Structure 1
Amino acid sequence: MTWDRPTAGCPVEVALAAISGRWATLVLRDLMRGPRSFSQLRAGLPSLSAKVLTERLESLVAQGLVSCSRSPGFPVRTSYSLTSKGLLLRPLLEQLYRTGEALLGEFPDH
């Protein structure tokens, strides 16, 4: 392993790219709780616009981290869920949370 400069094939860069993008970690966090509809995701993240949520979901689907399924009938129901690849991010997100808590505890005035 070399630390000279990041490369596209670097496992750390791949993991960071998977969670990059504004709101991506929060969308992934909500999907860790199980499948969600678009409206459920919006309700859980009220500050997130529909446009940005749509962009984030499209990006996560394109990366193979989230799957999108649509039910037949009217109205069409869309459900988003983590793929097995997306579930691999759980330990990373949990560790980021614990690290953030520790940093907040160490620097309470920030």
Structure 2
Amino acid sequence: MNEREACRTQGVPRWTLNDWRKSAESIFGYTGCEKTLACTPGRREVIPVGIELITFMKDTRRDSEVLTAKTVASFVHDEYREWLEGYVEGKKDAVTAYESLLRLLRCFEYRRGSCSELPVASR
């Protein structure tokens, strides 16, 4: 495919393609922190039962069931009570602990690409 055909199929003006070609080294030669290039910058969540959670999330999606942070929290409550009790120990009260757990699980889901709360267009 030549330059004109590529511009026509992609809907990009030819001068834009030429500018991209000239500055390809500066575009792809980023030397800053790699965290800024990640889809979700920041510190990763540390969950010792992460592999089991991923398996649970995949199985739930595969069975066409609704996957929310609350369903994952109930799974953690049922299967990994010891870890959950250790997690809750340092929290101020039960409400704070529950909200913190839900936030942790939402971030965990989002990083793995199975976010259940997607934006919906207004009707």
Relative to total residues, which structure has the larger helix share, 1 or 2?
2
TM over 0.5: no
Relative to total residues, which structure has the larger strand share, 1 or 2?
1
Q: Normalising by the residue count of structure 1, what TM-score does the alignment of the two structures yield?
A: 0.34
Q: Normalising by the residue count of structure 2, what TM-score does the alignment of the two structures yield?
A: 0.31
